[in-house]
Structure 1
Amino acid sequence: MIMAEETVFTEKQQKAARYAKAMGHPVRMYVLELLSNQSCCYSGNLSDELPIAKSTLSQHLKELKDAGLIQGEIEAPRVKYCINRANWKEAQLLFKEFLKI
């Protein structure tokens, strides 16, 4: 059985929607803005800057990572997060194309 999503929505639409969903919270937008302006950041540094529980931050980072917008590298006992430059560029192009800017 073919699902409607497979026949109606383009791959670009599905990717843009996934990126948009991941960006759909102010904490995630803050993290993306911070990481896009520097090479990388440790999760401990992020938790020092944001007035939220570490577990909540971890959930936001997971959402961004699952969408492919960031990547994490374990450097025990910390995790270093960076923008996934290829997917970040793709998201920018998809949104630019969609918004016709």
Structure 2
Amino acid sequence: MNGTVSIPADAAHAFTDAWCNDILTADIAATLGCTEVDALADLLRALGATQAADEWINAHGEDDEPGERHFRGTVPADASLAVDGMRWRPAPADRQDER
């Protein structure tokens, strides 16, 4: 979809009212993929809800794993990253034996 889209003001207000909610953000952000949270944040920004958009990205990033787009943590210096699709898993050398 290219160009500008017209959204009725009442629909835009209802959308931002529904999605600019700290409890909803905390409950759902981690379950979204990076693409989905980026799309939601972009729409919120387009509707003028910049702070809510940033909160969605930050809440999502708290549960992202190393190698994912919004990852906010630190990777241990001795860990090697093995990326499988969008999920990070420790490389075999980094796994702890369960003995």
Same fold at TM > 0.5: no
Bigger RCO (CA 8 Å, 6+ sep): 1
Q: TM-score, normalised by structure 1?
A: 0.28
Q: TM-score, normalised by structure 2?
A: 0.29
From the CA coordinates, give the structure whose radius of gyration is larger. 2
The answer to which structure has the higher strand fraction is: 1
The answer to which structure has the higher helix fraction is: 1
